[in-house]
């Protein structure tokens, strides 16, 4: 048994980290306090429709503000939760209540209906947890301690934020546009064409700096494809594209020979090593996790 076999044998004890697509789905939030206001913000970010149930007097000012400003997405009822019919047509249920018994009963009813549910006050009964979030455009980083220490998640978030340049979101947007252009030029799903596109995109992402991507405009993107993809999949240098970066060093693509060819370079590389990098960009989002019990990084 090698090291990887041992790792596989030990897999478990964490939770699934996914970027859940909630666009236009219906989410019920029972409660309107501070925690509910945080839930509303997270769910609005995901473009879902939200129903909030809470007597007016229990609304946190932030919840109040969300309800006023986002009538397009939030339906608010100034009344207590009335019973199981509130769950009809819901795709997700969240409770943020100061009433543990009610929270528990809503969880049970949701589970009977197979609706994913989170109760802010009963971790053991949650189908999923919220986490601390770092967002920059399509970049989404969630820090989860898997229920062990929410405040620790918040502290680690602050540390990670300091390690980011602030260019990542813009760079990922540009990479997404370039990938779309590549797919327009070279359509087709899967097979050799898919593998070639992935190799080329991975090579480009590996060799260019974040800043280089942020400086790409439409014409430059076409040039990257002309001078790179169309030339046996080489990775063009940033100077060839006319990008003027602020960096002085000869790092990144400056260090590569001009005929550097990604297809050749990765021919012998393990596809397992390439796929995760690629998929992070396929999604247009990066989700990093810190499950403190067992993993520091996946």
Ligand X SMILES: C[C@@]1(CC(=O)O)c2cc3[nH]c(cc4nc(cc5[nH]c(cc(n2)[C@H]1CCC(=O)O)[C@@](C)(CC(=O)O)[C@@H]5CCC(=O)O)C(CC(=O)O)=C4CCC(=O)O)c(CCC(=O)O)c3CC(=O)O
Ligand Y SMILES: NC(=O)C1=CN([C@@H]2O[C@H](COP(=O)(O)OP(=O)(O)OC[C@H]3O[C@@H](n4cnc5c(N)ncnc54)[C@H](O)[C@@H]3O)[C@@H](O)[C@H]2O)C=CC1
* Nearest by Cα to 167 from 234, 247, 222: 247
Query: Which structure tokens are listed for 213?
Result: 């991507």
Q: How far is the CB of 160 from ligand X (least distance, A)?
A: 11
Q: Does 30 bind ligand Y (CB under 6 A)?
A: yes
Q: Does 255 bind ligand Y (CB under 6 A)?
A: no
Angle at 51 between CA 108 and CA 131, to 5 degrees: 70
Among the listed residues 78, 99, 121, 127, the single catalytic one is: 121
Within positions 88 to 107, which residues make up the interface with ligand Y, using CB under 6 A?
96-99, 102
Q: Which stretch binds ligand X (CB under 6 A): 125-133, 217-225, 241-249, 259-267?
A: 125-133
From candidates 54, 103, 145, 202, binder to ligand X by CB under 6 A: 145
Q: How far apart are CA 241 and CA 228, in angstroms?
A: 10
For residues 154 to 173, the per-residue mask of contacts with ligand Y, x marking binding by CB under 6 A and - elsewhere, is: --------------------
From candidates 22, 27, 29, 31, binder to ligand Y by CB under 6 A: 31
Instruction: Report the 10 Å Cβ neighbour count for 228.
Output: 24
Q: Does 129 bind ligand X (CB under 6 A)?
A: yes
Give the DSSP letter of residue 184. H
Give the DSSP letter of residue 103. H
Q: What are phi and psi of 38, to 5 degrees?
A: -70, -40
Q: Can you give the length of the chain in residues? A: 298
Contacted entry of ligand X, ligand Y, none for residue 239, CB cut-off 5 to 8 Å set by kind: none
Asked about 212 being catalytic, the answer comes back as no
What is the bridge-based pairing of β-strands 132-136 and 139-143? antiparallel
From candidates 54, 110, 145, 214, binder to ligand Y by CB under 6 A: 54
Q: Does 200 bind ligand Y (CB under 6 A)?
A: no
Q: Which is nearer to ligand Y, 36 or 139 (CB)?
A: 36
Q: Does 120 bind ligand X (CB under 6 A)?
A: yes
The DSSP code sequence of 196-236 is HHHHHHHHHHHHS-HHHHHT--HHHHHHHIIIIITTTTB--
Contacted entry of ligand Y, ligand X, none for residue 54, CB cut-off 5 to 8 Å set by kind: ligand Y
Q: How far is the CB of 137 from ligand Y (least distance, A)?
A: 25
């Amino acid at each position: 048994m090698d090291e990887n076999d041992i790792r596989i044998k030990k897999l478990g004890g964490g939770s699934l980290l996914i970027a859940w697509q909630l666009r236009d789905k219906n989410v019920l939030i029972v409660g309107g306090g501070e925690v509910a206001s945080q839930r509303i913000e997270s769910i609005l970010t995901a473009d879902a429709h939200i129903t909030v149930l809470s007597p007016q007097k229990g609304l946190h000012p932030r919840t109040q503000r969300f309800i006023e400003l986002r009538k397009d997405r939030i339906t608010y009822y100034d009344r207590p939760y009335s019973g199981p019919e509130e769950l009809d047509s819901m795709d997700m249920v969240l409770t943020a209540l100061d009433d543990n018994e009610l929270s528990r009963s809503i969880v049970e009813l949701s589970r009977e209906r197979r609706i994913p549910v989170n109760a802010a006050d009963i971790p053991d009964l949650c189908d999923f947890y919220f986490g601390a979030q770092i967002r920059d455009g399509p970049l989404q980083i969630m820090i989860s301690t898997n229920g062990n220490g929410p405040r620790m998640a918040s502290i680690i978030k602050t540390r990670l934020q300091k390690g980011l340049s602030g260019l990542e979101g813009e760079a990922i947007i540009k990479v997404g546009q370039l990938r779309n252009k590549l797919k327009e030029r070279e359509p087709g799903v899967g097979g050799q064409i898919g593998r070639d596109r992935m190799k080329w995109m991975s090579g480009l992402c590996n060799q260019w700096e974040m800043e280089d991507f942020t400086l790409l405009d439409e014409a430059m993107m076409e040039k990257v494809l002309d001078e790179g993809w169309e030339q046996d999949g080489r990775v063009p240098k940033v100077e060839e594209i006319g990008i003027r970066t602020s960096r002085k060093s000869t790092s990144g693509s400056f260090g590569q020979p001009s005929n550097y060819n990604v297809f050749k370079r990765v021919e012998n590389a393990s596809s397992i090593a390439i796929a995760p990098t690629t998929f992070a960009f396929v999604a247009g989002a990066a989700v990093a996790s810190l499950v403190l019990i067992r993993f520091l990084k996946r």
